[in-house]
Structure 1
């Protein structure tokens, strides 16, 4: 659903850019409460994983494909604020390096693919967990439903933006019906990928899943006929190269395989937005991407003739750049959070 340049006029693109910048600023503050020394590097891995899986277009209808948006997955794994940042990092890397998603439409893409999907999925996910039994299956099931509905919500949000700032005169009712219809099908693929990924992580390290924290309920003891919380055991210091590092290395290896090898077998059909745009005439004023001359444009390496090798190298490079950029951002947020209590303690007057 990457919106290219030319779909949305300049005033609305600027307004969307301001809204996206505000959402990122709020998310930077909120992410300080979600990130710690374990989850900061994992958040960078989540961003890289979303980048890799977005290369894996899957067929959804005749001549149409879809790919993961990733907002629901990021919100469940690392939290809603960090999730917005994850998707924003991915969209920025795709726009600058791979000419995927217009640069003038970056604000639209962050708002639609990042903010709308994350907020929708987070609200649905938390609401479902309130009524479902507290279990790992409930977390996975809630993630499935949240991911499924987050995609048509993003499609409806794009239609709303297009209604205000679209550059072509197209009947909006037909656009809304086509966008929501095809993206509901794409949402099924999104839901399956999200549920499978969340379930896999919960199976090995539920403590690393932000949306599964409710599973860590305190042990109850009966004292004097009443149930009270048992004292929590002191957390063990993580050993160097311990389980968290193993999860990170395994996740990175899987991500590299997806981007560097499996992506070659992705569907070549246009995605949902491209198909609707071509059918309804939304793309009549589409503009060439400002980074069309990038050596990695269209997910291929310039001057590498073998398509399998070219696409695989581009995918590996994209994963590497995204994981470095994402981890750098999240470590900076985490470091600033850790420095604030120290600074407050230093400035406090002595008794």
Structure 2
């Protein structure tokens, strides 16, 4: 979903740029609570994986492209604030060095891919983590569900932005149907990739998975309580 230059008018692009800059500024401070010397390298690995995954693009229509986004994956692995930073760096590098997404649309792309997908993916994950049994086995399915929903939601937000400030001569109804249809399919693929990657990391090093730490803490408390009794 890399939006090109000129697809949205200047006021809309400026507004999303302000939103993106504010989100990155807040994330820079908040990410300190998510990372330490042991988990910081994971952020680099996540950014590298998302960068590689997003290089597989295919046209969706009206000048936009579809690809895996990685918002839910990054949020579950390294935390939502760090995920915003990881995806923002990836998107800026892609725009400046690889012409993938417009330079004037960097704010729009960060808002859609780096903020919306992270917020939706993490929100769904946290909700499922609260209502499902407190076991490590639910981390991967919950992450996959977050990924599945995050992609079409981002597509809907994009169509909303286009309705406000779209410059291209594209029918809004047709664009909405195309974006939602394609990104629902992409969401299914993203859910599969997210579930597999998160399951693999949880199986090997659950202590490195940000979204799994509350479940690990509960398991330790249960174990200690059983020994004490």
Structure-1-length-normalised TM-score: 0.60
Q: CA deviation at 1:214?
A: 2.2
- Are the structure 2 counterparts of residues 66 and 4 from structure 1 closer, same or farther at C-alpha, using a change threshold of 3 Å? closer
Which residue is equivalent to 2:137? 137
Higher deviation after alignment, 166-175 or 189-198: 166-175
Which residue is equivalent to 1:192? 192
Matched, 1:75 2:75: yes
Which residue is equivalent to 1:161? 161
Which residue is equivalent to 2:43? 43
Q: CA deviation at 1:54?
A: 1.4
CA contact (8 A) 2:73 2:198 kept: yes
Residue pairs, 1:329-348, within 5 angstroms: none
Which residue is equivalent to 2:96? 96
Which residue is equivalent to 2:121? 121
Aligned length: 223
1:122 and 1:210 map into 2 onto residues whose CA distance is: 11
CA contact (8 A) 2:2 2:66 kept: no
More helix by share: 2
Matched, 1:30 2:45: no
- Are the structure 2 counterparts of residues 2 and 229 from structure 1 closer, same or farther at C-alpha, using a change threshold of 3 Å? farther
Higher deviation after alignment, 131-140 or 198-207: 131-140
Residue pairs, 1:105-116, within 5 angstroms: 105-116=105-116
Q: CA deviation at 1:149?
A: 0.6
Which residue is equivalent to 1:289? none
Question: With CA pairs under 8 Å and 6+ residues apart, which has the higher RCO, 1 or 2?
Answer: 1
Unmatched 5+ stretches in structure 2: none
Q: CA deviation at 1:169?
A: 4.3
Which residue is equivalent to 1:148? 148
CA contact (8 A) 2:19 2:107 kept: yes
2:204 and 2:163 map into 1 onto residues whose CA distance is: 45
2:215 and 2:68 map into 1 onto residues whose CA distance is: 27
Q: CA deviation at 1:38?
A: 1.3
Q: Residue by residue, what CA displacement relative to the aligned partner does 1:130-171 show, whole Å, maximum 9, x if unpaired? A: 111122321111011100110001100111111111003433
Q: CA deviation at 1:57?
A: 4.5
Matched, 1:15 2:15: yes
Residue pairs, 1:292-307, within 5 angstroms: none
2:59 and 2:141 map into 1 onto residues whose CA distance is: 23
CA contact (8 A) 2:54 2:69 kept: yes
CA contact (8 A) 1:219 1:229 kept: no
Residue pairs, 1:262-341, within 5 angstroms: none
- Are the structure 2 counterparts of residues 11 and 128 from structure 1 closer, same or farther at C-alpha, using a change threshold of 3 Å? same
Structure-2-length-normalised TM-score: 0.91
Unmatched 5+ stretches in structure 1: 231-351
Which residue is equivalent to 1:327? none
1:142 and 1:54 map into 2 onto residues whose CA distance is: 22
1:59 and 1:136 map into 2 onto residues whose CA distance is: 37
- Are the structure 2 counterparts of residues 53 and 170 from structure 1 closer, same or farther at C-alpha, using a change threshold of 3 Å? closer
CA contact (8 A) 2:8 2:165 kept: yes
Q: CA deviation at 1:51?
A: 0.4
Structure showing greater radius of gyration is 1
Q: CA deviation at 1:53?
A: 1.4
Q: CA deviation at 1:15?
A: 1.1
